[in-house]
Chain A
Amino acid sequence: MGTNTENLQAYGNLRNRAVYHARNFWAGTFFGIGLMAFIDEVIFHQLLQWHHFYDLSTTQAGIFADGLLNAFAWFVAIGSLFLFANLRRRNALWPKRWTGAVFLGAGVFQLFDGIVNHKLLRIHQVRYNVDILPYDLAWNISGAVLLLVGLVILLQTRKTRKKAKESS
């Protein structure tokens, strides 16, 4: 009886993954964005204090863009957890696809922060009073790696979905 229910659950989950594949993607991406913004705030602003709240090169457009981005990230950091809970409740969680999307979201945030916020809008730099180039490289390369890992995992889940479609 116990295994029978488990089988039903597992079978249902496989079917629901296909229905909710987009929701798994967005729940993961939002969580990745929120997580990275949170890490940025806690580690680089508060603990290391490398990032400054404001520096003199900050432009008005920078303040504006940063406010929007952080408000969005703060909202989705929390909202994505509820999306995750909803997927679990519906027996539709696809852990691999969700994880891939988390990497993707984290990578996109990191790259956006590193290129647009730090370099184009000059909101603040990674660190002050040091040669900034190695820091910028490390920042953006790590972002690109996260993004790539996410893409690879997501492509794999896409293949699984195609195969499942063909066999059914």
Chain B
Amino acid sequence: MMNGHIQTTGTSFETIAGGIGIAAVLLYFVMAALTGKKFRKWPVHRYFLWSIGVLCAAAAVTGPLAALAHTNFKVHMMGHLLLGMLAPLLMVFGKPMTLLLRSLSTRYARLLTRLFKSRPIRLLSNPLTAATLNIGGLYLLYMTDLYMMTHQSLFLYALVHVHVFLAGYLFTISIIYIDISPHRFSYIYRSVVMILALAGHKILSKYIYANPPSGVSKPEAEAGGMLMYYGGDLIDLALITIFCYQWYKDATPRAFPSMENTD
């Protein structure tokens, strides 16, 4: 499809990405098992969700899917849905920050908590910042020549993929408070930002459908745009449901009002 694009299969980037994935799972298992002796046993479903999440992220950057993504825009988009949306959602439920705090000595855990509470982290975990980094990054990627350039420079390729994952993860934790969330924002504010972010995602996917990114053919851009639109909807369905369920639990009345009113 494109001339002179770099070969990432079997390169250092793939090896490093795969290595990080394996390390993330191994480290998680060891930490969870070890701290389980001292504290409450680490629930089995968290091991499972973390592993599947890491697997989703790894599938996007290494192996056959990543290889196909270089020549097929639809597969590329599939990889992005996995890396930037599904993997973060699954991994958040593994509660890695909680696990990390549990594993550290009190002294280091205190330092880390102080860092979490700091102003820069507060700014980062504001849903609006997270959404801008997440969706804004995608606009930059697909509306400029950046997409084509990622196929010519291994550095840019790696940078974009790391950004997609980190920004996706940041956005997820800024919307749903599953893991440690030191800076909390109201449900109304978070729902407004979430709607804007979802809208930004939909708008971009239709834009891609109509205006193929440089180096992408029209049919592939159409297939990729539609996958982005509907695939995004599907993962957002889960995100919105979790968000609303958290509100539902928070809004639990202390007693039944019917009983209060009748006495």
| Cβ–Cβ < 8 Å partners of B252 in chain A | 89
Q: Which of B192-221 contact A (CB under 8 A)?
A: 194-196, 198-203, 206-207, 209-210
* Interface residue? A128 (CB, 8 A): no
Assess the A53–B248 pair: CB atoms within 8 A.
no
- CA distance in complex: A74, B153 (Å): 38
Cα A79 to Cα B201 in complex, Å, equals 19
Measured CB to CB, the closest approach of chain A to B200, in angstroms, equals: 7
Interface string of B227-260 (1 = CB under 8 A from A): 0010001001100110011011001110011110
Is A67 within 8 A of B200, CB to CB?
yes
CA distance A54 to B200 in the complex (A): 16
Nearest-neighbor residue (CB-CB) of B203 within chain A: A67
- Ordered by A's residue number, 8 sampled pairs between the chains whose C-beta atoms are within 8 Å are A12-B258, A67-B201, A68-B196, A68-B199, A71-B201, A78-B240, A82-B248, A90-B253
| Residues of B contacting A90 in the complex (Cβ-Cβ under 8 angstroms) | 253, 256-257
Asked if A15 is at the interface of the complex by the 8 Å CB criterion, the answer is yes
- Distance between A29 CB and nearest chain B CB, rounded to angstroms: 16
Would A53 and B209 count as touching, CB distance under 8 A? yes
* Interface status of B226 (Cβ within 8 A of chain A): yes
- Tell me the minimal C-beta distance from A109 to chain B in angstroms: 15
State whether the Cβ of B261 lies closer than 8 Å to any Cβ in chain A.
yes
Indicate if A135 sits at the interface (CB-CB under 8 A): no
Complex: A53 Cα to B244 Cα, angstroms = 28
Contact of A15 with B198 at beta-carbon distance under 8 Å, contacts A75-B191, A82-B247 already known: no
Asked if A63 is at the interface (CB within 8 A of a chain B CB), the reply is yes
Whole-angstrom distance between the Cβ of B158 and the nearest chain A Cβ = 30
Q: Is A8 among interface residues, defined by CB-CB distance under 8 A? A: yes
> What 0/1 pattern do residues 87 to 117 of A give for CB contact below 8 A with B?
0011110000000000000000000000000
Q: A67-B199, A90-B253 are in contact. Are A12 and B241 (CB under 8 A)?
A: no
User: Chain B interface (Cβ within 8 Å of chain A)?
Assistant: 191, 194-196, 198-203, 206-207, 209-210, 226, 229, 233, 236-237, 240-241, 244-245, 247-248, 251-253, 256-259, 261-262
Mask for A42-77, Cβ within 8 A of B = 1, else 0? Answer: 000000000001100010000110111011101100
Can you name 12 extra interface pairs (CB under 8 A) apart from A15-B261, A74-B233, A91-B256? A9-B258, A11-B258, A13-B258, A19-B257, A63-B210, A67-B200, A67-B201, A74-B237, A79-B244, A86-B248, A90-B257, A91-B257
What bracket does the count of chain A residues touching chain B fall in?
Answer: 20 to 34
Q: Which residues of A contact B248 (CB under 8 A)?
A: 82, 85-86
Q: Which residues in A have some Cβ–Cβ distance to B below 8 Å?
A: 8-9, 11-13, 15-16, 19, 53-54, 58, 63-64, 66-68, 70-72, 74-75, 78-79, 81-82, 85-86, 89-92
- Among A19, A64, A70, A79, which residue has the most Cβ atoms of chain B within 10 A? A79
Q: Report A-chain residues with C-beta under 8 Å of the C-beta of B251.
A: 86
Q: How far is the CB of B127 from chain A (nearest CB, A)?
A: 14
Whether the pair A12, B206 counts as a contact (CB closer than 8 A) is: no
**A16 to B255, alpha carbons, bound, how many Å?**
13
Q: Report the separation of the CA atoms of residues A75 and B253 in the bound assembly, to the nearest whole angstrom.
A: 24
Residues of A within 8 A of B198 (CB): 71, 74-75
Closest A residue by C-beta to B261: A15
Task: Give every chain B residue within 8 A of A86 (Cβ-Cβ).
Answer: 248, 251
